[in-house]
Amino acid sequence: MIVAISTMTSLMWSSPVISRSIHTNTPLMLRGVDSFGWTAQEQATLIRSICHDIEVSPTTFAELLQMDGVREELTLRSSFGFMAFHGGGLEALTDIVAREAAAQSNASYYAVIHPDGDPPHLPSTRFQPDESPTMRSFFEHVDVVITIHGFGRRGLFSSLLLGGTNRPLAKHLRSVLQPHLPAYNLIDDVDDIPKYLRGLHPKNPVNLPKHGGVQIELPPRVRGTSPMWWDWEGGLTPHTKSLIEGLAEGVRSWPLTGD
């Protein structure tokens, strides 16, 4: 019985079609099996419960957008854009940082808001504009972007990582942000950034605009989500406010080109 449940549960994860088949045909599959003295009907009820409670994780952006609690946000302003497509309950505060920095710098803004709890983490390269009219509208409007992400890695809890293919913009942002965040180490040399956090893949949304962009990875401390701020009751923490102000200043001082 245990093997049967384990096998059918793993099959269910592989395809919703298989899941429906198991859900419908469980009594036939378990006929004659009476492990632990359970009747076939009791075993069928258990399997149906498992199939009902477990959701198949999305593998595409389009599938993610169909999930309960997932929504997009879009505000179009200048041709400079901020993005936070791992926002909401996934990488906490990233959407707020992007939204506020965009508002203070007259930049455009796009985010995917995930629900609280334990939402699925779709890789950045899966977020493609051909699967979302809203994201496509954003990319048709902007020429360069800053994408805001959150990360946590031992030894880098006070470091901000500036990846992406627009290296001149990365260096500019570092020079502007550092005075706003003197307690942090801003890393703009991609060789010093862990490979999976460099944001250099051509399908990464940060690199899709005409002039590419910068992927900024924020540790918990600067987002106000580390133990350092657990008793903070004043809204956004001072570090987060300084980050937003620095990002806005960096955008305002960056020359936009129409070529």
The reply to whether 15 falls in a domain is: yes
What's residue 20's pLDDT? 36
Residue 257 lies in a domain: no
Please check whether residue 190 lies inside any domain of the structure: yes
Higher pLDDT, 55 or 4: 55
Query: Closest Cα to residue 170, out of 142, 193, 189?
Result: 189
Does one domain contain both 140 and 169? yes
Residue 28 lies in a domain: yes
For 212: left if phi > 0, alpha if psi spans -120 to 50, otherwise beta; the answer is left
Picking from 243, 228, 226, the residue whose alpha carbon sits closest to that of residue 98 is: 243
| CA separation, residue 135 to residues 19, 76, 95, 99, 245 (Å) | 32, 11, 15, 15, 25
Q: Is the pLDDT of residue 82 over 50?
A: yes
Residues 98 and 157 in one domain: yes
Q: Number of folded domains in the chain? A: 2
> Do 11 and 83 fall into the same domain?
no
**Are 44 and 89 within one domain?**
no
Beta strands 108-114 and 159-163 are unpaired
Answer yes or no: do 126 and 12 share one domain: no
* 258 is a domain residue: no
> Which CATH number do you get for residue 225?
3.40.630.100
Statement to judge: residues 107 and 208 lie in one domain: yes
Residues 174 and 218 in one domain: yes
Query: Do 26 and 75 sit in the same domain of this protein?
Result: no
- Together in a domain, 32 and 106: no
Domain range spanning residue 42?
Answer: 2-53
Chain mean pLDDT for the chain: 86
Tell me the whole-structure pTM to 2 decimals: 0.79
Residue 71 shares a structural domain with residue 12: no
Together in a domain, 69 and 18: no
Instruction: Looking at mean pLDDT, say which of 4-8, 18-22, 229-233, 234-238 comes out highest.
Output: 234-238
Cα angle: 135, vertex 137, 142; to 5 degrees: 95
Q: What is the pLDDT of residues 135-175, one digit of tens each?
A: 999 999 999 999 999 998 888 999 999 999 999 999 999 99
Which amino acid is it at 79? S
* Whether 81 and 189 share a structural domain: yes
68 in any annotated domain: yes
Q: What are 42-69's pLDDT values in tens digits?
A: 766 666 565 545 557 899 999 999 999 9
Question: Is residue 259 assigned to a domain?
Answer: no
H/E stretch holding 174? helix 167-180
Tell me if 47 is assigned to some domain: yes
Q: Would you say residue 17 has pLDDT above 50?
A: no
Which helix (H) or strand (E) segment holds residue 144: the answer is: strand 144-150
